Amino acid sequence: MWVARTAAGGMLMRHARMTSLLPLAEWDLPAIAAGSLPAIGSVTHQPLLLVCTHGRRDRCCAVNGRALLTGLLAVATDDQRERIWECSHVGGHRFTPVTVSLPSGAVHGRLGVEQAADLLQRLDQGRVIVDHLRGRSAFLAPCQAAAGAVRRLTGIDGDDELDVLRLLDGRAVPPSPDLVELNEALTEVRHPDGRAWRVELRRVSLSGPRAESCGAEPVAAAAWVARDVTPTTPWS
């Protein structure tokens, strides 16, 4: 079993072997989110790769996810094979096959088998494939879009190199959940070396309805897009 905190600048993960899942019901989830992981097993710094193969939720995940899983296992080292697992629903079925890396929470989509070796190499190096990165699980949707825009502009590919704050009344503050309800947002993306970028975002309606998963009825969809990315005053 693995339990991880995926927050930017505060990634943590522990691994343990457990004979029962009952203790999970007593875990303090807010405490875990704050960085206090359950005292199980030991801290691990070896990254984990989860591949969605949840066929009951989406047949595309079963077909494409399993093909990617097979490709990953074919090129993985013995050590890497122990850290590649199938998982259930993680969302984003339109982007199948989808993977989640822990403890970074990096979500990749639309990966081909030809990317398997590169994905594994980058996983162990703490890097992402920018062109296939959908975002980090700890970030709100607008913040994922902001970080992605900066990555595409700069080529930054470290899995924990960027954090995203909201600009509110001229101040950079932690984003709150209500940010996703807005149609426009102003954010600041920060790098540990002090670099910063101001990113203007807008939620736009996508042309035509989109199916969220294979076999689902198409529905109206929207996405956050970066209107402008501008280097700004270093934050440190």
> To 10 degrees, the CA torsion angle through 82, 88, 90, 94?
110
For 102, other C-beta atoms within 10 Å of its C-beta total 22
Q: How far is CA 41 from CA 15, 44, 76, in A?
A: 5, 9, 25
Q: How confident is the model at residue 88 (pLDDT cuts 50, 70, 90)?
A: confident
Task: Quote the CA–CA distance of 28 and 75 in Å, as a whole number.
Answer: 38
Task: Quote the CA–CA distance of 227 and 15 in Å, as a whole number.
Answer: 41
Look at residues 182, 185, 183, 217 and name the one whose alpha carbon lies nearest to residue 201: 185
- So what's the pLDDT on residue 212? 73
pTM: 0.93
Contact 234, 207 (CB under 8 A): no
Across 15-19, 56-60, 88-92, least confident range:
56-60
The pair of structure tokens assigned to 125 is: 């190096």
Q: How confident is the model at residue 219 (pLDDT cuts 50, 70, 90)?
A: confident
Task: Quote the CA–CA distance of 69 and 2 in Å, as a whole number.
Answer: 19
Q: What is the pLDDT of residues 20-74, one digit of tens each?
A: 999 999 999 999 988 999 999 999 999 999 999 987 767 778 888 899 999 999 9
Contact 100, 87 (CB under 8 A): yes
**Helix, strand, coil percentages for the chain (3-state, nearest 5):** 30, 30, 40
Strand, helix or coil for residue 188: strand
- So what's the pLDDT on residue 211? 73
Q: Are strands 99-102 and 48-52 parallel, antiparallel or unpaired?
A: antiparallel
Strand, helix or coil for residue 83: coil
Please identify which residue in the block is written with the tokens 């929470």: 105
The pair of structure tokens assigned to 117 is: 């070796």
Domain ranges of the chain: 140-236
